[in-house]
A and B are shown apart, each in its own frame.
Chain A
Amino acid sequence: MRRAGRLSWGLVVLGALSAARAAGLPEVAPGWARLGEDRQPAERVEACQQLARVGGAEAVPGLRRFLGDPVIGLQARHALEVIPDPAAGAALRAAVMETTGEVRLGVVASLGRRGEVAAVPALIRLLRGTAGSIDPPSRELAAACAFALGAIPDAGAVEALREAWNGVARAEVADALLRQAHARLDSGQTEAAAADFAWLRSRVRDAGGRVAAERGLLRAAAGSDDHTRWLEALVSADPERRAAAAGLNGEWPRMEAAALADRMRQLRPEEQAARVTEWARGDPPPPAGLLRELAESPHAGLRWVALAALGRSGDATDIERLLARAAGAGAEAEAARLALTEIRDPRADEALAGFSRGAEQAIRREALRALGQRGGAVAAAALGRAARDPVESIRNTAWRGLSASGGDADVAALVRWVADPRGPAEGAAAARVLVAILERLAPESVPAELAAAWSAGSVAERASLAPVIAALPLAPVRVWLREAVGAADPRLREAARRALAGSGDPGLLEDQLALALGGEEEDLREAATRAGLRNAATAAGRGRRSWFLGILARAPLTLPQKRSLLAELGRGSSADDLDLAERFLADAECWSEAVAAVVGLAPRLPDAAVASAALELVLRSGLDAEQERAAEAARRGLRPRP
Chain B
Amino acid sequence: MTSPAQRPPPAPAAARRAFLRHSAAAAGAALAFPRFVPAAVLGRGGATPPSERITLGFLGVGTQGGGHLFGGAWTYVPGGFLGREDVQVLAVCDVRRARRKDAARRVEEHYAGRSGRARYRGCAAEVDFRAVLARPEIDAVLIATPAHWHATMSVMAASAGKDIYCEKPTAVTLQESRAVRDAVRRHARVYQAGTQQRSEYGGRFRLACELIRSGRLGRLREVYCHRDGGAIAWSSQPAGPARPVPADFDWDLYLGPAPLLPYDGNTGPHRFDVGELNWGQHHSDVIQWALDADETGPVEAFLEDGRSALRYASGVVVHGRPHPDETVGGSGGACFVGTEGRIAVDRESLVSSPVRLVREPLRPGEVRLRRNRGHVEEFLDCVRSRGRTSCHEDVAHHSASALLLGGVARQLGRAVRWDSRAETFPDDDGARRLMSLATRPPWRI
Interface residues of A (CB under 8 A from B): 41-42, 45-46, 49, 52-54, 74-75, 77-78, 81-84, 102-103, 105-106, 109, 112-113, 140, 143-144, 147, 171-172, 175, 178-179, 182, 206-209, 211-212, 214-216, 242-244, 246-247, 250, 270-271, 273-275, 277-278, 281, 301, 308, 311-312, 331, 338, 341-344, 348, 372-376, 404-405, 439-442, 444, 539, 542, 578-579, 582-583, 585-586, 588, 591-592, 603, 609-610, 612-614, 616-618, 620-624, 627, 633-634, 636-637, 639-642
Residue of B nearest to A78 (CB): B438
* Complex Cα spacing A179 to B74, Å: 39
Q: Is the interface of B mostly helix, strand, loop or mixed?
A: loop
* Complex Cα spacing A374 to B361, Å: 8
Min distance, Cβ B362 to any Cβ of chain A, angstroms: 7
Residues of B within 8 A of A42 (CB): 236-237
Residues of A within 8 A of B64 (CB): 642
**22 contacts across the A-B interface (CB closer than 8 A):** A41-B237, A42-B236, A74-B440, A82-B436, A102-B442, A144-B444, A175-B186, A208-B189, A212-B188, A270-B381, A270-B384, A273-B385, A274-B382, A373-B361, A586-B10, A610-B16, A610-B20, A613-B19, A614-B16, A616-B19, A622-B2, A641-B74
Residues of A within 8 A of B361 (CB): 341, 372-373, 375, 404-405
User: Which of A172, A277, A603, A621 lies in contact with B8, CB distance below 8 A?
Assistant: A621
Residue B351 interfacial (CB < 8 Å):
yes
User: Which of B73, B186, B189 lies in contact with A637, CB distance below 8 A?
Assistant: B73
Contact between chains at B67 and A375 (CB < 8 Å): no
Contact between chains at A613 and B17 (CB < 8 Å): yes
Residue B194 interfacial (CB < 8 Å):
yes
Residues of B within 8 A of A583 (CB): 12
- When each residue 416-445 of chain B gets 1 if its CB lies under 8 Å from chain A and 0 otherwise, what string results? 000000000000011011101111111010
Min distance, Cβ A303 to any Cβ of chain B, angstroms: 13
- When each residue 367-384 of chain B gets 1 if its CB lies under 8 Å from chain A and 0 otherwise, what string results? 010110100000001101
Min distance, Cβ A579 to any Cβ of chain B, angstroms: 5
6 closest residue pairs by CB, A with B: A637-B73, A208-B161, A274-B387, A621-B8, A246-B386, A78-B438
Contact between chains at B185 and A182 (CB < 8 Å): yes
* Complex Cα spacing A53 to B331, Å: 34
Residues of A within 8 A of B75 (CB): 642
Residues of B within 8 A of A613 (CB): 16-17, 19-20, 23
Count chain B residues whose beta carbon lies closer than 8 angstroms to a beta carbon of A. 85
Residue B15 interfacial (CB < 8 Å):
yes
Contact between chains at A275 and B437 (CB < 8 Å): no
* Complex Cα spacing A360 to B429, Å: 71
Q: Is the interface of A mostly helix, strand, loop or mixed?
A: helix
Residue B314 interfacial (CB < 8 Å):
no
Contact between chains at B373 and A331 (CB < 8 Å): yes
Residues of B within 8 A of A539 (CB): 326-328, 351
* Complex Cα spacing A308 to B360, Å: 21
* Complex Cα spacing A277 to B378, Å: 11
Min distance, Cβ A217 to any Cβ of chain B, angstroms: 11
Contact between chains at B186 and A617 (CB < 8 Å): no
Contact between chains at A348 and B433 (CB < 8 Å): no
Contact between chains at A585 and B11 (CB < 8 Å): yes
**Given A45-B236, A53-B430, A175-B186, are A144 and B436 neighbors across the interface (CB < 8 Å)?**
no
Contact between chains at B433 and A209 (CB < 8 Å): no
Contact between chains at A442 and B188 (CB < 8 Å): no
- Which of A214, A246, A618 lies at the interface centre, i.e. has the most chain B CB atoms within 10 A of its CB? A246
Residues of A within 8 A of B368 (CB): 311-312, 338, 342
Residue B114 interfacial (CB < 8 Å):
no
Interface residues of B (CB under 8 A from A): 1-2, 4, 6-13, 15-17, 19-20, 23-24, 63-64, 67, 72-75, 136, 159-161, 167-168, 175, 182, 185-190, 194, 196, 234, 236-237, 259, 278, 326-328, 331, 351, 354-356, 359-365, 368, 370-371, 373, 381-382, 384-388, 429-430, 432-434, 436-442, 444
Contact between chains at B182 and A182 (CB < 8 Å): yes
Contact between chains at B188 and A78 (CB < 8 Å): no
Min distance, Cβ A399 to any Cβ of chain B, angstroms: 15
Contact between chains at B159 and A247 (CB < 8 Å): no
Contact between chains at A642 and B67 (CB < 8 Å): yes
**Given A281-B370, A539-B327, A633-B73, are A622 and B441 neighbors across the interface (CB < 8 Å)?**
no
Contact between chains at B442 and A140 (CB < 8 Å): yes
* Complex Cα spacing A49 to B384, Å: 45
Residues of B within 8 A of A348 (CB): 364
User: Which of B186, B234, B370 lies in contact with A277, CB distance below 8 A?
Assistant: B370
Residues of B within 8 A of A109 (CB): 439, 441, 444
Residues of B within 8 A of A603 (CB): 73-74
Residues of B within 8 A of A621 (CB): 7-9, 11
User: Which of A112, A440, A614, A620 lies in contact with B360, CB distance below 8 A?
Assistant: A440
**Given A211-B188, A301-B381, are A582 and B370 neighbors across the interface (CB < 8 Å)?**
no
Contact between chains at A270 and B385 (CB < 8 Å): yes
Contact between chains at A178 and B186 (CB < 8 Å): yes
* Complex Cα spacing A7 to B372, Å: 68
**Given A247-B387, A247-B388, are A642 and B8 neighbors across the interface (CB < 8 Å)?**
no
User: Which of A373, A442, A622 lies in contact with B355, CB distance below 8 A?
Assistant: A442
User: Which of A53, A84, A246, A375 lies in contact with B385, CB distance below 8 A?
Assistant: A246
Give the number of residue pairs across the A-B interface with Cβ within 8 Å.
Answer: 244
* Complex Cα spacing A49 to B430, Å: 12
Residue of B nearest to A345 (CB): B364
Residues of A within 8 A of B182 (CB): 179, 182
Residues of A within 8 A of B359 (CB): 439-440, 442
Min distance, Cβ A152 to any Cβ of chain B, angstroms: 14
Residues of B within 8 A of A105 (CB): 441-442, 444
Residues of B within 8 A of A244 (CB): 188
Min distance, Cβ B73 to any Cβ of chain A, angstroms: 3
Residue of B nearest to A304 (CB): B373
* Complex Cα spacing A84 to B361, Å: 54
Residue of B nearest to A589 (CB): B4
Residue of A nearest to B373 (CB): A331
* Complex Cα spacing A315 to B31, Å: 63
Contact between chains at A206 and B437 (CB < 8 Å): no
Min distance, Cβ A86 to any Cβ of chain B, angstroms: 14
Min distance, Cβ A105 to any Cβ of chain B, angstroms: 4
Min distance, Cβ B359 to any Cβ of chain A, angstroms: 4
Residue of B nearest to A539 (CB): B327
Contact between chains at A247 and B190 (CB < 8 Å): yes
* Complex Cα spacing A42 to B8, Å: 54
Contact between chains at A74 and B259 (CB < 8 Å): yes
Residue of B nearest to A101 (CB): B441
**Given A539-B326, A582-B13, are A53 and B434 neighbors across the interface (CB < 8 Å)?**
yes
- Which of B24, B74, B167, B386 lies at the interface centre, i.e. has the most chain A CB atoms within 10 A of its CB? B386
Given contacts A244-B188, A374-B363, A442-B354, 13 further A-B contacts (CB under 8 A): A102-B441, A178-B186, A179-B186, A214-B188, A247-B382, A247-B387, A247-B388, A603-B73, A609-B24, A610-B20, A621-B7, A642-B67, A642-B167
User: Which of B167, B356, B385 lies in contact with A442, CB distance below 8 A?
Assistant: B356
Residues of A within 8 A of B72 (CB): 633, 636-637
Min distance, Cβ A177 to any Cβ of chain B, angstroms: 10
Residues of B within 8 A of A622 (CB): 2, 6-8
Contact between chains at A639 and B63 (CB < 8 Å): yes
Contact between chains at B354 and A634 (CB < 8 Å): no
* Complex Cα spacing A208 to B365, Å: 41
Min distance, Cβ A566 to any Cβ of chain B, angstroms: 15
Contact between chains at A208 and B187 (CB < 8 Å): yes
Residue of B nearest to A186 (CB): B182
Residues of B within 8 A of A281 (CB): 370
* Complex Cα spacing A502 to B11, Å: 34
Contact between chains at A274 and B11 (CB < 8 Å): no
Min distance, Cβ A394 to any Cβ of chain B, angstroms: 20
Min distance, Cβ A365 to any Cβ of chain B, angstroms: 17
**Given A274-B382, A375-B363, are A77 and B438 neighbors across the interface (CB < 8 Å)?**
yes
Residues of A within 8 A of B13 (CB): 578-579, 582
